[in-house]
Structure 1
Amino acid sequence: MEKHPAPAVRRRDRRGRGVRGPLLPPGTPAYRTRAQRFDDLVLDVVELLERRWSAQLAGTEFAVEEVPPSDPAPWETDGVPLGRCFPPEAGQSARVVIYRRPVELRALDDADRAELVREVVVEQVAHLLARAPEEIDPRYDGG
C-alpha cells in the first residue's frame, strides 16, 4: 500500500497575496458592530437619565432586543412598537426594552438614530414613572 503525502497547508490565497487580516484593528470605534453601537446609544441615554432620576430608577433593568415579540399588547395598535416598559411585579424589577431594528429602520441617519433612541428611552421611562416625557428630559419634544 502506497502512502500519499498530506496536502500542503495553504499560506496564500489563489492570487498570492497572503492571508488577510482584519480591516480595522480591535479597539477602534469603527470596529464595533451596528448592534454594539446601538447599545452604546441606549447606555448613553440611560446614564443621563440615571443622574437625575437615580432614586426612581434604582433596580430598573434596561435592555435592547432586535425586534418586538409577534404578539402585540392590546394597546399597541399603531404599528410596530419601538420600545416597551414593564413595571415591577412578582419579585421582578422594572424593565425598559428598546427594539433595535424598528428604531434603525425609522432613522434617517446616525444623528436621527441617536435622537430617536433618546426619545424612545425617555418615553418608556416616563411611562414607567407615570410622568410626562418633558419632565423626564426637558429636551424632549415628542418629535
Structure 2
Amino acid sequence: MPTSVPRYASRRKAFDRAVLEAYAPLYGMYQRELANLDIAVDTIPRMRLSADMSILPDEITADGPVPLGRVIPPAIDTKGNPTRARIVIFRMPIEQRVTNATERHEILTNVLTSLVANYLNIDPRDIDPSFQDF
C-alpha cells in the first residue's frame, strides 16, 4: 500500500503485528501464568555469545548458531528497580528466513512456543504436540 493510505504499515510495524498475532493464542492458553511477561521485538540479537559455543543456553531459541529470540528473566536494573520477565524476538534473523507472511507466522509461532515453554518451565510439546525444534 502507498504510505499515504491509513492502513499502510512499515515492515517493522507489520512484523510487530505478526508477533502479537502469533502470541495471542499462547497468551489465551496461559493468561494467568503469562500476566507478568512482556513481549518485545529487537532488530538484531544484542548478546555476547562466544564463537566456540556449540550449545546455546536454554533461554535462547536459535536456528543453528543464529538466535531468533530469548527469554530474559526478571531482574534488578542499574537504578535498583525491579524489571519484569521479557521475551525478545529478533526481527532481522527471522525476516531473513521467510519469503511470505505464512512462513513468518509459522516461524514466529514456533519461536514463541519454544520461549513461552522455557518461561513456564514446560516442554514445548505440552503447548503444541506438533512442535518441532529448528
TM category, shorter: 0.7 to 0.9
Secondary structure (helix, strand or coil) at the match of 1:106 reads coil
Letter in 1 for 2:100: D
Gaps in structure 2 of 5+ consecutive residues: 58-63, 77-81
Query: Which of the two has higher C-alpha Rg?
Result: 1
- Number of aligned residue pairs: give it: 120
Task: Write 1 or 2 for the structure with the bigger share of helix.
Answer: 1
The 2-side partners of 1:57 and 1:132 are apart by 16
Once the two structures are superposed, the pairs formed by residues 1-143 of structure 1 within 5 Å of their partners are: 23-28=2-7, 31-72=8-49, 75-76=55-56, 78-90=64-76, 91-142=82-133
Equivalent pair of 1:60/1:93 in contact (CA under 8 Å)? yes
Shift of 1:139: 4.7
Give the TM-score, by structure 1 length: 0.73
* Sequence identity (%): 31
Task: Supply the RMSD in Å over aligned alpha carbons.
Answer: 2.3
Give the TM-score, by structure 2 length: 0.78
Q: Which moved more, 1:133-142 or 1:93-102?
A: 133-142
Task: Write 1 or 2 for the structure with the bigger share of strand.
Answer: 2
Highest relative contact order (Cα 8 Å, sep 6+), 1 or 2?
2
